[in-house]
Structure 1
Amino acid sequence: MPRQTSRDLRNESRFEVLHALFTLGPSTRQEIAKHTGLSTATVATLVTQFLAEGVLRIATVEQNTVGRPYERLTIDPDRGRILGIDVAETYVDATVYDVTLGPLGHGEVALDEHENDTEYVVNGIVRAIEAAVEASGTERERIIGAGVSMPGQVRPDAGVSVFAPNWDWHDVRIEELLEQRLGISVYVDNPLKAVALSEMWFGVGRVTKSMAVVNLGTGVGAGIAIDGTLLRGSANNAGEWGHTLLQLDGRQCRCGRRGCVEAYLGVHGLEMSLAEIAPKHPALRQPLQRGFVDAVAEGLVADDPALVELARRTSHYLAAALGDLVNLLNIPHITLTGWTTAALADWLIPAVREELPDHVLPGSLPGLAVEASRVPGNPVALGMAAFTLERFLGDLGLASPASTPPPRRRLRAPA
């Protein structure tokens, strides 16, 4: 582990100030110092830098009964506009945010999950962005950058989609393709990193610095933060929990192995489980993944016995796989996110909580929490917007080393 430099410590302190304002809202320098544990002198210096760059503004000036008036500071939402885009195998979801990461406009485009042509996917991304920009009333010159999450293995430092198994993509220079179409700076990353960052900024990261954010959808995986630092691995591939082993010589996984967690907890895995339980169940006739998951949720509400058994088996698989994650990392908090979670959380999470002690070492059980994410909106899009904001602040000399790779190019300052 490289030794932290004085610059690293200054950068971390800057983000402590910024995160305090995200958490507290308009605050005085003294309130920020108390929340962060930084000295009042350090906070005063950093606030001066933020004010000079237009990232903060003075919200109000208030008068004490005695002494000098004091200022309440806030992040300036009008410093620019940021795009956060969640690209999955079945949809593109785009949101325009202000610099406080408040949503201003949204656009969504459905993708044919059986279509994998690069131009088709890029066109879908552009159409979703155009819809979001129009809905927000944003002028293009005000956009300071776009963060785009791509499924599979992504190299943010090179702007490359290394491998997207469902599309059979290999080394697609997706960042370059999007910048050519959009005319703005683009940052690409993996959705597991995005959901972890959104949880660090706006979810359980406000009460814990170590967590796993488990995404359930077409694929499954975990975004991981340890002691407040996002875990990336040497090739940005950390968190591929979905391709760890659940059953030796088990079901075929799309990665090429057998018995992966994803082969039991991804949507195709749920379809395979239901086919084992009731091969002619009408839910299996749904042509699209989202239609299948919606049918399962509706059937659970109606106490369909085959789907109740599917939920039981799925929660059993999930508890065992999460137990391995806890035993490996000794993390105190697991948050579930993703569109499968949104549909099935009411059935899966209580059963997982009940069974998880059977799979976790006793020393890791005290304080262990499992819950659905409370991050508002789309956590992937929000996380990608947060990455883009970090890169913009890095361009101003206000970067955080805790989550983003070194930037490759400057983001444009809004006119």
Structure 2
Amino acid sequence: MARHTARDLRSENRFEVLHALFELGPSTRQELARHTGLSQATVATLVTEFLSGGVLHIAAVERNTGGRPQERLTIAPDRGRIVGVDVAETYVDAVVHDLALGVLGHAEVALDEEENDPAYVVDGIVRAIDGAVGADATERARVIGVGVSMPGHVHPDAGVSVFAPNWDWHDVRIEELLEDLAIPVYVDNPLKAVILSEMWFGVGNAVDSMAVVNLGTGVGAGIALDGSLIRGITNNAGEWGHTLLELDGRACRCGRRGCVEAYVGAPGLRTTLAEIDPGHPLLRQQRQRDFVERVAQGLAAGDPALSVLVLRTARYLAAGLGDLVNLLDVPHITLTGWASEALADRLVPAVRDELPHHVLPGSLAGLVVEPSRVPGNAVALGMAAFTLQQFLTRLGLASPARTRPRPDPEPAGFSRRAGTVPSPGPDAA
């Protein structure tokens, strides 16, 4: 494993200061030092770098009686624009953010569930970005980066969609296919994006270890342990949807049988309803999102078959979450994704009722399961944050994504950098 170097620690310290400003808002150097645990001298040096790069500006100068004036610093939102893009099997959602990750614009393009040609999907990505940014050439010139989340296995350092089972994609070079944008592109997986959003803008301000379960066409879990985003050796950590729920069970799109996804993903809900009531009229709904939205409406209207569907799905989901909690011992699980949002009012309470049957007592005490409170599209927000990190890399100001400062260097030969995007090159500051 790579040695944790002094360069890595300095780079991480830079990002700790920036993240502190997201948490605290306008802050003095002294407040940033207290929040991050870094020395005042280190914070002063890093703030100078940020100011010179235009990433921060001085929001106010406070003159205290008998002391030196204190500058209150904040992120400079107009330093540039970042586009976060959430690509799913049924849609592309593009969101324009300022440098402080405030939302400025949004556009969504529907995708045909049966169409899987890369050129078709890339066209949808470009149209969504065009719609979000608008026709203003001046505004487009201010975009400093685009973060694109692709379903399935992704290699961020190569910009490659390694394997997307629902589209039968293998080694599709998304970054190269988007070269005509003439804007730096960063590609990653939605599970990594949603956990980063939760770490920065959700429960990560209160807990260091958590899982974010994304429910849609597919399902998966973003994982953070001790404040670090978990990627795994090949960026494939979190494919919880392809863990086993039932031996020799339903066929899964990954090629195995009995995966969690085959029971709690949107197609799995349709299969369960067909088992409960083969003649149910909702089974005629072809589009997945329409189907799930009609399920939510039917639940509100008291449809008994749909009530059974939610209870059975909650049992499947609780069993899968039980395995996740028993393995990782995380104290907090949030549910996100379009299917989760549509069904949360009925699904989440039912899952909570089921969990005691599946979670070991030692991990059950204090376990929280709730819908995510991250505003807007958590995938697009996480991709914008990753893209901000890449922008800082180009300025020589990058570091891995974390939620808490690391007080001491790790011993030689030890690395906890599985949650990082690729390290800056030798020319980085």
TM range (shorter): over 0.9
For structure 2, the residue ranges without an aligned partner over 5 or more in a row are 402-418
Question: What's 1:406 paired with?
Answer: 422
* Contact 1:387–1:404 (CA under 8 A) maintained in structure 2: no
Q: CA deviation at 1:378?
A: 0.5
Question: What's 1:67 paired with?
Answer: 67
Tell me: CA distance 1:360–1:167, structure 2 relative to 1, closer, same or farther (3 Å). Answer: same
AA at the equivalent of 1:194: A
AA at the equivalent of 1:146: V
Q: CA deviation at 1:136?
A: 8.3
* Contact 2:398–2:424 (CA under 8 A) maintained in structure 1: no
Give the RMSD, CA atoms, in angstroms: 1.7
Question: What's 1:153 paired with?
Answer: 153
Aligned-partner SS, 2:61? strand
Tell me: CA distance 1:9–1:128, structure 2 relative to 1, closer, same or farther (3 Å). Answer: same
The whole-number CA distance in structure 1 between the counterparts of 2:424 and 2:271 is 43
* Contact 1:391–1:404 (CA under 8 A) maintained in structure 2: no
Aligned-partner SS, 2:72? strand
* Contact 2:393–2:424 (CA under 8 A) maintained in structure 1: no
Tell me: CA distance 1:319–1:255, structure 2 relative to 1, closer, same or farther (3 Å). Answer: same
Q: How many residues were matched structurally?
A: 409
1:180-223 deviation digits (Å, cap 9, x = unpaired):
x2111111111111111111111111111211110000000001
Question: What's 2:384 paired with?
Answer: 385
AA at the equivalent of 2:190: P
Question: What's 1:214 paired with?
Answer: 213
Question: What's 2:277 paired with?
Answer: 278
1:277-307 deviation digits (Å, cap 9, x = unpaired):
1111111111100010001000111111000
Q: CA deviation at 1:65?
A: 3.5
Tell me: CA distance 1:366–1:76, structure 2 relative to 1, closer, same or farther (3 Å). Answer: same
1:304-341 deviation digits (Å, cap 9, x = unpaired):
10000000001111111001001111111111100011
* Contact 1:104–1:136 (CA under 8 A) maintained in structure 2: no
1:81-136 deviation digits (Å, cap 9, x = unpaired):
11110011110000111100111111110011111111111111111000001188
AA at the equivalent of 1:156: P
The whole-number CA distance in structure 2 between the counterparts of 1:315 and 1:112 is 28
Identity %: 75
* Segment drifting more, 357-366 vs 244-253: 357-366
Q: CA deviation at 1:144?
A: 0.9
* Contact 2:191–2:238 (CA under 8 A) maintained in structure 1: yes
Q: CA deviation at 1:236?
A: 1.1
The whole-number CA distance in structure 2 between the counterparts of 1:146 and 1:138 is 16
Tell me: CA distance 1:130–1:409, structure 2 relative to 1, closer, same or farther (3 Å). Answer: farther
Question: What's 1:173 paired with?
Answer: 173
Question: What's 2:163 paired with?
Answer: 163
Question: What's 2:410 paired with?
Answer: none
Question: What's 2:20 paired with?
Answer: 20
Question: What's 1:413 paired with?
Answer: none
* Contact 1:157–1:407 (CA under 8 A) maintained in structure 2: no
AA at the equivalent of 1:313: R
Q: CA deviation at 1:374?
A: 0.9
Question: What's 1:76 paired with?
Answer: 76
Aligned-partner SS, 2:370? strand
Aligned-partner SS, 1:115? coil
1:227 aligns with 2:226: yes
* Contact 2:84–2:97 (CA under 8 A) maintained in structure 1: yes
1:384-407 deviation digits (Å, cap 9, x = unpaired):
111110011122222113433326
For structure 1, the residue ranges without an aligned partner over 5 or more in a row are 411-415
Question: What's 2:39 paired with?
Answer: 39
The whole-number CA distance in structure 2 between the counterparts of 1:70 and 1:201 is 27
Question: What's 1:333 paired with?
Answer: 332
1:100 aligns with 2:100: yes
Question: What's 2:141 paired with?
Answer: 141
* Contact 1:107–1:135 (CA under 8 A) maintained in structure 2: no
1:182 aligns with 2:198: no
1:311 aligns with 2:310: yes
Q: CA deviation at 1:138?
A: 5.7
* Contact 1:390–1:404 (CA under 8 A) maintained in structure 2: no
Question: What's 2:405 paired with?
Answer: none
1:298 aligns with 2:258: no
* Contact 1:83–1:97 (CA under 8 A) maintained in structure 2: yes
Q: CA deviation at 1:355?
A: 1.9
* Contact 2:82–2:143 (CA under 8 A) maintained in structure 1: yes
Question: What's 1:238 paired with?
Answer: 237
Tell me: CA distance 1:295–1:32, structure 2 relative to 1, closer, same or farther (3 Å). Answer: same
1:245-294 deviation digits (Å, cap 9, x = unpaired):
00111111111111000000000100000001111111111110001000
Question: What's 1:259 paired with?
Answer: 258
Aligned-partner SS, 1:345? helix
Q: CA deviation at 1:367?
A: 2.3
The whole-number CA distance in structure 2 between the counterparts of 1:201 and 1:137 is 31
The whole-number CA distance in structure 1 between the counterparts of 2:107 and 2:175 is 20
AA at the equivalent of 2:153: Q
Q: CA deviation at 1:17?
A: 1.1
The whole-number CA distance in structure 2 between the counterparts of 1:209 and 1:235 is 23
AA at the equivalent of 2:33: A
TM-score, normalising length from structure 2? Answer: 0.92
1:89 aligns with 2:89: yes
* Contact 2:82–2:384 (CA under 8 A) maintained in structure 1: yes
AA at the equivalent of 1:165: P
Tell me: CA distance 1:409–1:229, structure 2 relative to 1, closer, same or farther (3 Å). Answer: same
